[in-house]
Amino acid sequence: MHTILSHPLVSTAMSVLRDKHTTAAAFREALERLAFHLCLACTTELSLRSYELSTPLEQTTGYALQGGVVVVPVLRSGLTLLHAFTQCIPEATIGYVGLKRDETTLVPKEYYCNVPPLDENTTVIILDPMLATGGSMCAAIADLKKRGATQIIAAVVLAAPEGIAEVEREHPDVPIVCAAMDRALNSHGYIVPGLGDAGDRAHGTV
């Protein structure tokens, strides 16, 4: 199952990302704005517990998250989305997965993984701006499942239909939330019309 966000502010931020003249600073800022929208969309089904609290005037009911949330950016481009998610979910803990895609075979290879303890009560949100072939996302999901995650959400800025199809084929239980879906992948495995390499553009290493 996948969700494509539909909102005027998402569309304007995506246009900033697509523009080849956008500076690295403006690119990062637009990514962060999009990350807030992604976070809200990813967390609509989180469970709540109620408790009694006192306002300055009387007693009322308050709410807190039921169960833990772990946010896992895929290094390094996923780091650009992390701040917005932790601002929205201050209770969240953070894990990291490092994946490097072989530009010839397009097969991802994990070089780093460090995540908090995971169990059936933990919601894990994987952050990765680009979902191209789906290989990296599938590898990250598979690794997190091995570590005990049962509730996983994939949060991406831009996806290709091929990437969405691959994740849904390999992990049909993982919902995908993305800001936009483009036409296809080109012969080099890049999303088109796309926005280039999100990590390079955000970090100024183009």
Is-contact 148 118, C-beta < 8 A? Answer: yes
Identify whether 18 is a catalytic site residue: no
Of 28, 101, 143, 147, the catalytic one is 101
HSE value, Cβ hemisphere, 13 Å, CA-based, for 184 = 3
Sign for the pseudo-dihedral over CA of 130, 136, 139, 144: negative
Active site residue 101: yes
Question: How many angstroms separate the CA atoms of 124 and 126, rounded?
Answer: 6
- Indicate if 105 belongs to the active site: yes
145 close to 137: Cβ distance less than 8 angstroms: no
Q: Catalytic residue among 105, 119, 169, 173, which?
A: 105
Specify whether 169 is catalytic.
Answer: no
Catalytic residues: 101, 105, 197, 200
